[in-house]
Structure 1
Amino acid sequence: MGFLVNGTGHPTPGYQSYERPPEPDRSERTARTARRTALTISTIADVAAGFLGLWIVLYLLEANGANPFVSFVHSTADWLSGWAQDIFTMDTEFLRIILNFGLPALIYLAVGHGIAARINRA
């Protein structure tokens, strides 16, 4: 404590009383943490959408599926869009790929940036 107190609630004679320092302002630290969290969430959404978009581009450019990089991007895009596979079953493969991988990319962007915006406002 800052001072000794006798039974009366007053400082004991001979000891100097002092004011307690103000509590640290945590609002700035909380705001920085919120901004960092929002940035992390939006970055994860951007990376997920980037993989999906990259796979669409590689598919449209007829990239070599045996290439390890192309295979990695394809498997990552498949995993990220697993919940949305075959929502659209078009006869045109080109359109099916764009819709089945593009829709999840847009949803990841919308949800990720929406959550980040909400965290920044709080």
Structure 2
Amino acid sequence: MFVGILRLTLYLPEPGSLKSKRHLLRSAIDRVKARFNVSVAEVGDNDLWQRSVVGVAAVGNDHAFVNETLDKVADFVGSMHGGQVQIIDRVLEIASYGDSLGQGGARTLAEAEAEAMEEDWDKDENP
């Protein structure tokens, strides 16, 4: 499993108020969500009129697929609204989680409670 995180710092030259910035960003975020199967949110510079930091997350079973998806998202954001959204910084990170994630170590709630009771019992017998 691969989890990709894309952080885009955006410059928005047009907005003259927070209301117009939020309208522009909401439109951009909605279009990205509709076109790509990713999660998107404004994560920084919320109170600045002409700047925003947007986070994008994608999950997949292939590193190249996650990388390509996030690259396409960045290109799409940079091309939308006729230059009203400009990317001034872009950070991409992809983390790998092995196939054994959740396997072998998985246990039921009853097993976890029984293990906790055993630990408490051992503490009482061997202070």
Which interval holds the TM-score relative to the shorter structure? under 0.3
Richer in helix (by share): 1
TM-score normalised by the chain length of structure 1: 0.26
TM-score normalised by the chain length of structure 2: 0.25
Richer in strand (by share): 2
Higher relative contact order (CA 8 A, sep 6+): 2
